[in-house]
Amino acid sequence: MKLFSLRPSRNVTGNFTLIELLVVIAIIAILAGMLIPSLGKAKWKARLITCASNQKQMHIAFVMYTNDFDDFMPGNPSGSKAYYYRQLQSYLNDVAVFTDCRIQNAPGSVMEGYAMDNYRNVAYGASWYTVPRSQYLKVGKITKPGSKILFGDSRTRKQSGSSEDDNPTSIAYKGTYEPDFARHSNYCNFTFADGHVKDLKYRLEGTGSKLDYWAHFIGVGELIDPYKPGYYDNNLLSDI
């Protein structure tokens, strides 16, 4: 009786055919297309978290400063040692806390020819209307500290095209020194007066003439908004 052989009728080699090779390459390309966006998102999210950590350290230094100066906040007037970050610097181990986010995430905004810790190259601005340029005010003057901004990612003239001096130590809801939402893929980290740091997505209010978050920059009720004479602190716009 004749037995059937279980062996294949032809020799099988270990070589891929061209079609099989193309199929493998196509599968790898599909997987890469699925993974690369996720990796990119994870990378910018990690940078956003690092930035938030820097701002948390800044707030700790801010609290230590106010404790040492009878609850007075640092001012933000012009001068080599007068800007708010210079006043907080002694409470931190490294000035890189103020500069690294710009260097790592917006190198194109760095002002060449100046030291990295120069006021033109800091990464974070103090709210123009909470930590004002020309006044030293007490923390107790801040209304609704849980929704009022102290610090945030700020732009330079190199980004905004302003005719003003490059001064990212200040940040306002519109005008010269605006938040830098581009640095973190359309998000911006803000430090609030109660100490929490939150990343907010870029959005505009009304016709887009000012940021939707503008009311949260006005932290001290007695300061008048120069863009709307007679305006005092309120919180009419969307909550943060």
Q: pLDDT tens-digit profile of 119-147?
A: 888 999 999 888 888 788 899 888 889 98
Paired sense of beta strands 204-205 and 187-192, if any: unpaired
User: Is the pLDDT assigned to residue 159 strictly greater than 80?
Assistant: no
Indicate the burial class of 135 (C-beta count within 10 angstroms; 0-12, 13-18, 19 or more). Answer: middle
Q: Is residue 128 part of a domain?
A: yes
Q: Is residue 179 part of a domain?
A: yes
Q: Is residue 144 part of a domain?
A: yes
Q: What's the rounded Cα separation, in Å, for the pair 83 and 151?
A: 13
Q: What's the rounded Cα separation, in Å, for the pair 209 and 6?
A: 79
pLDDT per residue as tens digits for the range 195-204: 999 998 887 6
Q: What's the rounded Cα separation, in Å, for the pair 188 and 38?
A: 20
Q: Is residue 28 part of a domain?
A: no
More confident residue, 63 or 107: 63
Q: Is residue 73 part of a domain?
A: yes
pLDDT per residue as tens digits for the range 8-22: 555 555 666 777 777
* H helix or E strand, kind and range, residue 217: none
Q: Is residue 163 part of a domain?
A: yes
Q: What's the rounded Cα separation, in Å, for the pair 112 and 128?
A: 25
Q: What mean pLDDT do residues 172-193 have?
A: 85
Q: Are 237 and 214 in contact (CB under 8 A)?
A: yes
pLDDT for the residue numbered 29: 76
Q: What mean pLDDT do residues 70-98 have?
A: 89
More confident residue, 170 or 15: 170
Q: What's the rounded Cα separation, in Å, for the pair 54 and 101?
A: 8
pTM of the model: 0.75
Q: Is residue 25 part of a domain?
A: no
As for how many domains the chain has, the answer is 1
For residue 219, name the pLDDT band (cuts at 50, 70, 90): confident
Neighbours of 123 (CB within 10 A): 30
82 vs 26, 110, 116, 180, 197, CA distance in Å? 60, 21, 17, 23, 25
Question: Distance between alpha carbon 97 and the CA centroid of its chain, in Å?
Answer: 13
For residue 153, name the pLDDT band (cuts at 50, 70, 90): very high
- Domain hosting 87: range is 52-217
Q: Is residue 186 part of a domain?
A: yes
pLDDT for the residue numbered 87: 93
